[in-house]
Amino acid sequence: MDYLLNTTHCLCDPCHEGNFCETFTSRQQQYATPYHNLIIYITALCISTLNNSICLELFIRSKAIRRTNCGIYLIIYSILSILASIFLVADGYVTYDKSIFEGDPYSRNTLHCVVGVVSYNTANFLCIWFSASVQLERGIVLFSKKTSTITRKRSIIVSIIMLAMSIGCAIPIVFYDCAWNDVPHLK
């Protein structure tokens, strides 16, 4: 009841609308969020694949870029960015299409945990760190007196350490199947 206008309004079900729910509607009032997310994820995958494959081709074909530490970081960054987009689309598709793993919700949750949570977040985490490594290497080159003795050995070692560290941090999440509430506490 709207006391100011002295009118009454009904709360209608999704199939009816109007002041007294007198009008039948056949249109969908609610959005299918997984469907829209999947469209956005696929669009982002297309843009990411186009951008990063062009960058990857440039980084690999250019000897001047490829032989530097920044070049190694940029090559790995481009590969990880494409992988992160693929992981996001795979998780979005499984979320959208309920017929996959229809009889086994545990497999759906495990796939969401491994692909959607762990793999995607690990790839994004590594992209951030490789981006920071590019800036660090540029700073080292700018302030270093001996630029002629720089080899790619440092960037390969740092890349291996970052990959091992991120995989090591992801193992407990996969082990507990993303269920942090069920983790036994230390006593």
120: buried, middle or exposed (CB in 10 Å: 19+, 13-18, 0-12)? buried
Q: Does residue 187 belong to any structural domain of this protein?
A: no
Which residues form the domain of 1?
1-30
**What does the pLDDT look like over 32-50, one tens digit per residue?**
788 999 999 999 999 999 9
* Lowest-confidence pick of 10-24, 35-49, 165-179: 10-24
Determine the average pLDDT of the residues in 16-36: 73
Q: Does residue 7 belong to any structural domain of this protein?
A: yes
How far, in Å, CA of 25 to CA of 74, rounded? Answer: 53
pLDDT of residue 91: 93
Into how many domains does the chain fold?
A: 2
- Is the same domain home to 51 and 106? yes
Q: Does residue 52 belong to any structural domain of this protein?
A: yes
**What does the pLDDT look like over 60-91, one tens digit per residue?**
999 888 888 889 999 999 999 999 999 999 99
- Is the same domain home to 104 and 175? yes
- Is the same domain home to 20 and 53? no
pTM of the full structure: 0.76
- Is the same domain home to 16 and 69? no
- Is the same domain home to 175 and 110? yes
Would you say residue 9 has pLDDT above 80? no
Q: 145 is written with which tokens?
A: 């007196």
- Is the same domain home to 72 and 10? no
- Is the same domain home to 116 and 174? yes
- Is the same domain home to 105 and 161? yes
Given phi > 0 = left and psi -120 to 50 = alpha, else beta, which region is 30?
beta
**What does the pLDDT look like over 115-142, one tens digit per residue?**
988 999 999 999 999 999 999 988 888 8
pLDDT of residue 74: 94
pLDDT of residue 125: 94
Q: Which of 48, 50, 131 is nearest to 89 (CA)?
A: 48
CB 41 within 8 A of CB 115: no
Would you say residue 145 has pLDDT above 80? no
Q: Does residue 5 belong to any structural domain of this protein?
A: yes
How far, in Å, CA of 11 to CA of 6, rounded? Answer: 17
CA atoms in the 13 A half-sphere facing the CB of 56: 14
Structure letter (DSSP) for residue 180: G
- Is the same domain home to 72 and 142? yes
Q: 165 is written with which tokens?
A: 């560290």
Q: Which of 43, 74, 80 is nearest to 59 (CA)?
A: 74
- Is the same domain home to 24 and 102? no
Q: Which of 53, 56, 71, 61 is nearest to 156 (CA)?
A: 71
- Share the mean pLDDT of the chain: 84
- Is the same domain home to 55 and 23? no
Cβ-based neighbours of 109, under 8 Å, separated by 6 or more: 177, 178
- Is the same domain home to 70 and 159? yes
